[in-house]
Amino acid sequence: MKCREVVELMTDYLEGALTSHDRERFEQHIAGCDGCRAYLRQLRLTLRAMRSFEDAPIPERVQEELVQAFRNWRQTSS
């Protein structure tokens, strides 16, 4: 496997979608290749960044309206 190919398999690898044969070849390559290991690390850090977006809290007004709608639903459905 060449680096140029390995970078295109990174998502399949992270998703566990490689065949066991390809997975083995992939891991062998990574173990001996600083460049691809660095690239994989960058991808993992990119994922971490995306997962740590700070969420805006739900606006109070919206929450009140939704809770009211929920109460109405409860009343009419019971």
Partner 1 sequence: MVESSSSGLEALRRGDEATFVDLIQRYHGPMLRLAMAYVRDHHVAEDVVQEAWLTAIKSLDRFEGRSSLKTWISGIVINLARARRRKESRLLTFTALLRRGDPDRREPTVDPSRFTAAGDWRAIPHQWENIPESTLLGRETMQKVQAAIEKLPPKHREVIVLRDVAELDAGPVSELLGISAENQRVRLHRARASVRKALEDYLG
By CB under 8 A, tell whether 19 contacts partner 1.
no
Q: Single out the residue of 19, 21, 31, 50 in contact with partner 1 (rule: CB under 8 A).
A: 50
Total binding residues toward partner 1, as defined by CB under 8 A: 47
Cβ neighbours for 14, distance < 8 A, ≥ 6 positions apart:
43, 44
Residues that bind partner 1 (CB under 8 A): 2-5, 7-8, 10-12, 15, 17, 33-36, 38-39, 41-43, 45-59, 62-63, 65-67, 69-71, 73-74, 77-78
